[in-house]
Chain A
């Protein structure tokens, strides 16, 4: 039955997917800044910067939406996650702070190449660490090692073992490869320069293969590391068709990247990422934090959830057109003609 808390959980899952597709790609941009090589390293970095500059702050807010909905609608789960995963979350926050600050410092601090390179390095390293920590957190939540007494809300944790394990780290690296793939595919369409396009095509292929590898590794490790998820992924009636669908989309995406059908790839790769995150959500249901906390046993009362859902509905009416307008202005088709003007401006 579709309860109010499941509606909120659905909004959270959709927000997480959008965050991956937008904010995740911004982190991916940072990863490719870190691995910018060859004769066009400088233009690669410039392309990344121009691509994410106008949108990264808006993309970032999806994460805040998820956190707020978590503590409003599932307060006990929020408290348990923040307690048991204090360390990876703190590292993630430091990553978020350094990534954002270094990016804007770099934009406005162009006195010399040395300082520019130094901020680039901070931006790039922080961009790589943050999604890994986010993935570790999600992996730990799925792993079934965070035990909570639902009556008292008491968390049984040593603050380390829940996340310092192979499965959460595999999910962390999986997240990293997804971000890198999204960014590389998006970046192929951010430039008219075919040499640059080729650079990111190669990177997209590498990332796509890594995503496959990490997906396989995560699945293998889930047998020991996240038994509940494994049951969901392996045995549910929907699981086999779902895996086939995800795999087919992934292969098709690689095929389009290989054949330089970048516009199609930019549609397929987000679908692939959506299916992966969505599949994880399905496999985890009905648990929010395995094995003790479910959506229903941690949900806030309906008197809280109903007005929140109304706010989400009304807010969405304002937000979606605004978010769409932002993308239409900076990612629309008429964009490239003004690119040079923009570079002169900053």
Chain B
């Protein structure tokens, strides 16, 4: 394993690990705030129990998210010092804002988790709102910094040196809005369905348990609403990529030739040596339409750039297909749920539907991981798109395989513990029934 590959593997692994906890930290507060708000409104004890139970799981996830996020902020320098020496000041604005947002999140989480009996009820609910806002904005700012790596703006290069830095322009680069929107919705969508899926599993065995009924209602509503929003943000993202990173789009679609009226490929195996994609189901002209709203628009093919400037096509293409597939299943789950609820005017607890939602539990998170693979691997071989190569950003430190293996073992260990603890908590969930 070369040092560059080890560094990339360590960064990828750290991000893949952290993103799960970060998404939970962003979205769980929404579920908790809804549950606690319902308790304040209806005074039904089950909602308070629910908020407290969800808070316990969130506490574990948040702590692991906070420390793994710290690792990432250091890894930027430990693995990519040349990138940070170059880009640090330019993308400092979103990182500084993220620092504040995360700070507020951590402060109010402490108040939320340990303040049940210490602060007034409304103040406690407000603390939950602050955790939600802090987490959401924290995520938005970090994604904004990543967006800059895809579409770097806000500076100019004179004689190889960075000048005219405009941190605000860098923050408001062309990908910021689309990426931040897509990721934020993804977090709520993934967590909504993951939580709904877990409670659906218990509802099948214990259909009258109010605890699971209320939990399922809240989580499914959140998941379904964001599932219906996600295609819109996906469309915005795709159009941005088509305009600003055409080679990334070509890799996502495994499009080798530049052509007008390019087809949308479903499945297919890209052959990077032969420069062609086999066995794909092609929908004629659909890619041109989706990317540019014009059936005959020109789509740039991978052959336009030399091989050393292309991202790994197979990975990006498969990851994109996986993300879209998971997304479509979740959208269907959301639509069916909404339709069932509307038709029967009740919680959709049909056994087949509960089974379907249980099947959906991991899909949102798989989509998040796949989507990040598309964004990050699709940007390669650049760390700053068209400006700095990943290979030029890496630290001169030798034996990088050692920290990579160490952090991998550490994170696998932590993952196992978290799963065991959450499982135990979930299986201890209360049994509350309607007495009348």
State the A residues within 8 Å of B (CB): 53-55, 57-58, 60-61, 63-65, 67-69, 71-73, 75-76, 78-83, 86, 89-90, 93-94, 96-101, 103-105, 107-109, 111, 153, 155, 159, 300-301, 303-304, 307-308, 311-312, 315, 318-319, 322-323, 325-326, 329-330, 338, 341-342, 345
Contact = CB atoms under 8 A, between A and B. Distances in A.
B73 A57 contact: no
A78 B71 contact: no
Given A68-B73, A97-B414, A330-B118, A155 B106 contact: no
Interface string B62-87: 11101111110110111001101111
Contacts, number: 212
Given A78-B88, A341-B117, A93 B70 contact: yes
A96 B100 contact: no
B104 interface: yes
A53 B114 contact: yes
A58 B116 CA distance: 18
Interface of B: 56, 59-60, 62-64, 66-71, 73-74, 76-78, 81-82, 84-90, 92-93, 95-100, 102-104, 106-111, 113-119, 130, 163-168, 395-398, 403, 406-407, 410, 414, 417, 421, 424-425
Nearest to A315: B100
A303 B166 contact: yes
A128 to B, nearest CB: 17
B360 to A, nearest CB: 26
Contact of B397 (A60, A86, A107, A307): A86
- The DSSP consensus for interface residues of chain A is helix
A82 B106 contact: no
Contacts of B417: 101, 105
A63 B70 contact: yes
A89 B70 CA distance: 12
Contact of A345 (B84, B116, B398): B116
A323 B103 CA distance: 9
B71 A93 contact: yes
Given A94-B406, A104-B60, A322-B107, A71 B99 contact: no
Given A303-B165, A311-B97, A329-B119, 8 more contacts: A58-B106, A58-B110, A68-B98, A97-B68, A104-B59, A155-B396, A341-B117, A342-B117
Contact of B92 (A82, A304, A315, A323): A304
A83 B395 contact: yes
Contact of A68 (B63, B92, B165, B414): B92
B390 to A, nearest CB: 16
B85 A54 contact: no
Contacts of B60: 104-105, 108
6 tightest A-B CB contacts, nearest first = A72-B92, A82-B77, A75-B88, A300-B89, A79-B81, A54-B114
Contacts of B163: 301
A9 B114 CA distance: 34
B92 A54 contact: no
B106 A60 contact: yes
Contacts of B68: 97
Contact of B110 (A55, A100, A318, A345): A55
Given A100-B64, A105-B417, A108-B425, A308 B70 contact: no
A345 B396 CA distance: 50
Nearest to B64: A101
Q: Pick from B71, B84, B107, B111 the residue with the most CB of A within 10 Å.
A: B107
A76 B398 CA distance: 20
A79 to B, nearest CB: 4
Contacts of A57: 62-63, 66, 106, 109-110
B84 A330 contact: no
5 contacts: A61-B103, A72-B92, A303-B166, A311-B93, A325-B107
B111 A54 contact: yes
Given A69-B96, A83-B397, A311-B97, A109 B421 contact: yes
